[in-house]
Amino acid sequence: MKVAIAMSGGVDSSVAAALLKQAGHDVIGMTMRLVDSDRSEAAIADAREVAGRLGIPHHVIDLRDVFDRCVIAPFCEEYARGRTPNPCIVCNSEIKFGVLREKAAALGADHIATGHYARAEGWSLKKGTDDRKDQSYFLCRLTREQLSRTIFPVGRLTKQEVRRLAADLGLPVASRPESQEICFIPGDDHAAFVRDYLGQPSLPGPILDEAGQILGEHRGIASYTIGQRRGLGIAAAEPLYVTAIRPERNAVVVGTREKTFTESLIAGDLNWINGPPSVPVELKARVRYRHPEAAAMVTPLDNDTVYVKFSAPQMAVTPGQTIAFYDGETVLGGGTILRQGSEP
């Protein structure tokens, strides 16, 4: 089988490529050029070196224009509206398993593979075996058709096993540290990037308490997200957290930790991998990547909106973030958090 492997220059995709070759597949290495940066060029160079070590062809695919249009621009627009999007989820569904897969098919590849810690089984998406590295949350917007031609070679391995394999294979990226930053944001400074990209100044505004009293001044709403504690610059008798962002007033609302919890939300822009529920159903839901799953009753409101009522209040439910739905090991799909609360 001819398989195209998306090679980021990291250890996970490098080992994934090696495992595919060991399994006897005809492997093609593909690296996306998404932005102009030294870090991007270094990653391309690492991927090219690994491909050379493995003896597989390597292609650099220039996707800067479509990445800017589909990922960067919406990300900045959402942040400017006081929302907190997850660009990696959009990139996976639209770019990596969308545009890149089309490029792979043009090279004759039957399937595309990545270094994600997840499992594709037929039409279904399953969690990765390593609970600490499971990345199925980032893949919840993939479709049945995308999954049917996808392979996750490291999905049943732990990170330690992957690094050990990389070392045994003599791959030059065996000890490369993981990046925790968004790939297109230098220095992980979201607010500065949004300001520069949109060409708009960060407008200061009021920081309010729950009663609407002004406590201080913020640096621009793009610098804040729900649940944030650090960087508020407010002296108070007890720690304060961002509880809401009001773009129509250019205001940030803060309160005590208990005020960051909510027991329900409305989600839209839904993707159900194997079909939507037609009646209320009890599932597990995750409102951020590192957030633990929580039991919830999911009630369909229309074809593209659900009301989610948690069994216990959840902290920092954030508009713009992705909510992923699970049934045991199976990822059922996901959507975008539109707002907190609101009875159906």
Active-site pick, 70, 76, 140, 183: 183
User: Within a domain: residue 194?
Assistant: no
Count CA atoms closer than 13 A to 67's CA, side-chain side.
18
Q: Which DSSP letter does residue 12 get?
A: H
91-94: which pairs have CB atoms within 8 A and are 24 or more residues apart? Answer: 91/67, 92/138, 92/139, 92/141, 92/142, 93/141, 93/142, 93/143, 93/146, 93/271, 94/70
Has residue 17 been placed in a domain?
yes
Determine, yes or no, domain membership for 78: yes
Instruction: Give every residue of the chain whose pLDDT is below 50, as ranges.
Output: none
Amino acid making up residue 198: L
Together in a domain, 230 and 270: no
CB contact at 8 A, 329 and 96: no
pLDDT of residue 60: 98
Q: Which of 306, 280, 308, 273 is nearest to 294 (CA)?
A: 308
What CATH number does the domain containing 226 carry?
Answer: 2.30.30.280
Whether 179 is covered by a domain: the verdict is: no
* Alpha carbon distance 331, 127 (integer Å): 7
Active-site residue, 91 included = yes
Taking CA atoms, 282 is separated from 277, 309, 314, in Å, by 10, 9, 16
Cα separation, 130 vs 110, in Å, equals: 27
Domain count, the chain: 3
pLDDT, residue 182, reads 87
- Could you list the residue range(s) of the whole structural domain that residue 230 is in? 202-255
Q: Active-site residue among 70, 76, 91, 140?
A: 91
CA dihedral 278→283→288→289, nearest 10 degrees, is -110
Q: Please check whether residue 180 lies inside any domain of the structure.
A: no
Report the DSSP beta bridge partners of residue 216: 207
C-alpha–C-alpha distance, residues 339 and 320, integer Å: 8
- Is the CB of residue 334 less than 8 Å from the CB of residue 321? no
Does one domain contain both 17 and 144? yes
Q: How many CA atoms lie within 13 A of 246 on its CB side?
A: 15
Does residue 139 sit in the same domain as residue 84? yes
Q: Which of 255, 285, 317 is the last residue of a domain?
A: 255
Instruction: Based on the residue annotation, tell me whether 88 is a catalytic residue of this protein.
Output: no
For 243, phi then psi, to 5°, come to -110, -20
Buried b (16+ CB within 10 A) or exposed e, 268-294: eebbbbeebeeeebebbbbbbeebeeb
CA distance linking residue 278 with residue 168, whole number of Å: 50
- Locate 170 and state its tokens: 């003599």
Please report the pLDDT score of residue 344 as a whole number. Answer: 65
Cα 156–chain centre separation: 20
Q: Output the pLDDT for position 104.
A: 97
In a domain, 189, yes or no: no
Residues 325 and 275 both lie in one domain: yes
> How far is Cα 27 from Cα 248, in angstroms, rounded to an integer?
51
What is the DSSP pairing of strand 150-151 with strand 111-113? parallel
Whether 279 and 247 map to the same domain: the answer is no
Specify whether 243 is located in the same domain as 279.
no
CATH number at residue 105: 3.40.50.620
Judgement on whether residues 213 and 284 belong to the same structural domain of the protein: no
Q: Quick one: tokens of 296? A: 């919830």
> Which DSSP category does 69 fall into?
I
